[in-house]
A and B are shown apart, each in its own frame.
Chain A
Amino acid sequence: MGSLIKKFTRSQLAIPLFALFLLVIFNLIRDPSFFSIDIATNNDGNAVLSGNLISILNGASAIAILSIGMTLITSSCKGQDISVAAMAAIAGSVFVSVLRSNEITIPVLLLAFLFGCVVAVLFSLFNGILVAVFKIQPMIATLILFSAGRSIAYWINGGATPTISSPLITAIGGFIPGIPIPTPIIIMVVFLILISLLLRFTNLGLYTQVVGINEGTAHLNGISPVWIKLIAFIISGVCVATAGCITVCRIGLINHETLLLDAEMDVILSVAIGGNALSGGKFNLYGSVIGAYIIQALTVTLYAMKVPSAAVKAYKAIVIIVIVVFSSPVAKDFVVRMYKKLFKKQAEKEVQAKAA
């Protein structure tokens, strides 16, 4: 038991899980019914789950999916892609423009998603090539699409913000008839399982970390840093398309200006809160996903406390500073030292007690 606790406290997930735990406790004290889940009937007459917990899980799906790609890019390239949200707007626009030129059926939906994916992967690869081949700082390289991305999305639908409506779209953005869990949650879980399988049955995780930690060693051991970085950007492209399409389906229209606005910062924060060094190297995907849920839980909590929406960001910033500072090596070291000191004193006291 003792060693289990020790192992846990040393693990990268300790702080994020602890933060999540505190958030939950805080909410339970504030309002014991905060996490209660109700069954409600929605507009389409389906019995569905509702409640704060569901809305946290649901609302975080897009960020959580994006954070998976961001984690891989961070690990291998030692930097972040700040254009993910803008690219999601592009992918969403492509998705909508394909849907609008056809009658919406399942094959058309899949085709539209595929188009969105291909476009997002191509744009992501553009970033990837700048970073991996031309060795441009990720932040600078992705600044191009960060600023140009939403303009490109604007052109795709001729400047309009068209709506799409179909039972299929609501099924993806909301609920599939007969299933009480919001579909974005299901998509997120499936996505996470797929990525876990990818990490489990390939060497992607090992190679990515080796490239992020020491490129020289990677090269001399037959790993191509360029390829590994490009793969990270490709996977991130798929994440971007998925997140973009889910969000479009949820709101039922594409607005190139506001779709996932500022999401890139939340995504990067998720990665950081998950205990991953933004300077690359070792990573833990689950940490980033937990990070996304922490951010969303925080937002929902603040709204539930009736904090005015303009002030939410400031409160969020404070909590995030606390989490990030606490997971810094300096703070960890301090905690360990304090613990040792306390422990020593206790041990001494025991010895004295025994002697007496």
Chain B
Amino acid sequence: MQNDIVLSMRNISKSFPGVRALQNVDFTLRRGEIHALMGENGAGKSTLIKVLTGVYPKDSGQVFLNTDGSLREINVKSPYEAQNLGISTVYQEITLCPNLTIAENMFIGRGSYQTVNWRTMKKRAAEILEKLNIPARATQQLDTCSIAVQQMVAIARAVDMDCKVLILDEPTSSLDEQEVEKLFSLMRDLKSRGVGIIFITHFLEQVYQVCDKITVLRNGELVGEYEIKDLPRVQLISKMMGKDLEDVSALQKRKPVGEETDEIPVYEATGLSSLECSNAFDFKIRKGEVNGFTGLLGSGRSESVRAIFAADRITGGKIKINGKEVKIKKPKDAMKHGIGYLPEDRKRDGIVEDLSVRENIILALQVMKGFFRPFSRAEAEAFADEYIKLLGIKTASMDTPIKSLSGGNQQKVILARWLLTNPQYLILDEPTRGIDVGTKVEIQKLVLKLAEEGVSITFISSEIEEMLRTCSRLIVMRDRKIVGELKGEEMTQDNIMHTIAGEAV
């Protein structure tokens, strides 16, 4: 039994200024086991991983790794060392090099300093991409890929290395079901070869699909380790939150806002196209409506909403706001007309790492107010305070740099930024990415409440359930084109899939 254990962490503690991220946490991983690490945003999951892989030094505690059949204490100083010990990691925030190609990213820093054979490297990378069905070329520069592709590349890289322990920190946060399935079959394959896998996610169904064991953390403390069959979903949630979750099904879905009346839409685009979204499309949204763009990975849903916000260069189209024709050529114009946009990739387009939570929250409103009219410190603090409370953002203080918040809490800060601008039309691209179950419900409620108050919302999520719960109209996309639209009763998972496949509903 003893030498079944691959990795064992004992009494791990880690503090940051003002936060005790981990307190005496134990964690055990066995051979051929997929072990879920669960907890709310800021519970300490990523910190535990980073302590294990040497990103942060631990304050106290011991780590043991199975080397040649017996457990030996290890003291990992750097992620590189961890990798050489057979611990392969996909971090929550993608840590690849954006300006290198996919092939280079896959093979860089892989141990040996031998000369690299670019040709075989490219060929091998192309094979991996092919095998995992990743829609990208090996020679493509990484930052030209969507975040989902980047995530798949990070996974492919980790999986391709020989490892004893594979760590996946929210690898599926922007993947669609198809990609998740591919990842799961990969994980099962590795499991059968005896690799121990640590899997962090906020998607409960995924946990029940692949995992064998669950370890739950709450506020940096260990709640317990459970066999998957002994811990039904409801109990898992209450273990994570320390209280019971409200029934999600009680969420009242908003009725579709009136059928085609002659009401003037809040936003209307005809023939809109941008550099990234070359197929011109028409789109409109009425006051208080919640609609969504759906489609597979790479179907162009994010590119479409980016065009609405003029995030990429606009190449054509007419825009009307409340019936009046306006010009929206850059994000500032869109903001002036009351449009807000929460981007999909928070690291690249959302956060300003080194600035404080306060500055990150007020940024958009400040820009709208104007260059010559900065908010006073007191005003800014009042805003930040209000939204930190409203969204329950876990942070040591409002002056903490945003980069030291947990992933989910960073996401909440960006959401706060746009809520603060009080938009009439809010575009949310994956607003619940990396957000825990409890807060997810809160955000869905918030979206519906905003709609109630007359804000129009476009909602994109790779979780179809979530879209079905919040949206009253779904625009279905395939190959960067709109292929259908579903309303009211027609909106079911099956219908969406049929429409994507190009069959009549």
Contact = CB atoms under 8 A, between A and B. Distances in A.
Contacts, number: 70
Contact of A222 (B348, B367, B372): B367
B352 A214 contact: yes
A218 B348 CA distance: 10
A209 interface: yes
A258 interface: no
Given A203-B366, A213-B355, A219 B311 contact: yes
Interface string B340-361: 0101000011111111000100
Interface in B190-204: none
Contacts of A219: 311, 331
Contacts of B368: 222
A345 to B, nearest CB: 15
Interface in B364-404: 364, 366-368, 370-372, 374
B367 A282 contact: no
B354 A213 contact: yes
Interface string B207-241: 00000000000000000000000000000000000
A217 interface: yes
A221 B364 contact: yes
A201 B352 CA distance: 22
Given A220-B311, A221-B331, A222-B364, A201 B374 contact: yes
A148 B353 CA distance: 38
Nearest to B309: A220
A82 interface: no
A207 B371 contact: yes
Residue from A219, A222, A223 with most neighbouring chain B CB atoms (10 Å): A222
A89 B413 CA distance: 48
A202 B352 CA distance: 19
A207 B355 CA distance: 11
A63 interface: no
A172 interface: no
Contacts of A202: 371-372, 374
Interface in B63-111: none
B335 interface: yes
B469 interface: no
A213 B311 contact: no
B332 interface: yes
A70 interface: no
B363 interface: yes
Q: Is the interface of A mostly helix, strand, loop or mixed?
A: helix
Contact of B355 (A200, A210, A216): A210
A210 to B, nearest CB: 5
A214 B346 CA distance: 11
A209 B352 contact: yes
Contacts of A222: 330-332, 335, 364, 367-368
A221 B353 CA distance: 15
Interface residues of B, number: 27
A209 B354 contact: yes
Contacts of B349: 216-217, 220
Interface in A206-248: 206-207, 209-210, 213-214, 216-224
Contact of B351 (A201, A204, A209, A217): A217
Contacts of B351: 214, 217
Task: Name, among A217, A219, A224, the residue most crowded by chain B CB atoms within 10 Å (CB to CB).
Answer: A217
B374 A220 contact: no
B340 to A, nearest CB: 10
Interface in A174-214: 200-204, 206-207, 209-210, 213-214
Nearest to B374: A203
Contact of A206 (B309, B330, B359): B359
B354 A282 contact: yes
Give the one of A201, A210, A221 with max B CB within 10 A: A221
Contacts of B353: 213-214
A149 interface: no
A216 B359 CA distance: 16
B478 to A, nearest CB: 26
Question: Quick one: which of B341, B353, B371, B417 has the most chain A CB within 10 A?
Answer: B371
A220 B305 CA distance: 13
Contacts of B363: 206, 210, 217, 221
A221 B331 CA distance: 7
Given A220-B341, A222-B364, A282 B372 contact: no
A217 B374 contact: no
A213 B352 CA distance: 6
A224 B330 CA distance: 9
A200 B354 CA distance: 20
A214 B343 CA distance: 14
Contacts of B331: 219-222
A213 B368 CA distance: 20
Interface string A32-54: 00000000000000000000000
Interface in B308-349: 309, 311, 330-332, 335, 341, 343, 348-349
A223 B367 CA distance: 7
B142 to A, nearest CB: 14
B332 A217 contact: no
A218 B353 CA distance: 12
Given A209-B355, A216-B348, 4 more contacts: A203-B366, A206-B359, A216-B349, A220-B349
Interface of A: 200-204, 206-207, 209-210, 213-214, 216-224, 281-282
8 contacts: A200-B374, A201-B372, A209-B355, A217-B348, A219-B331, A221-B331, A222-B332, A282-B355
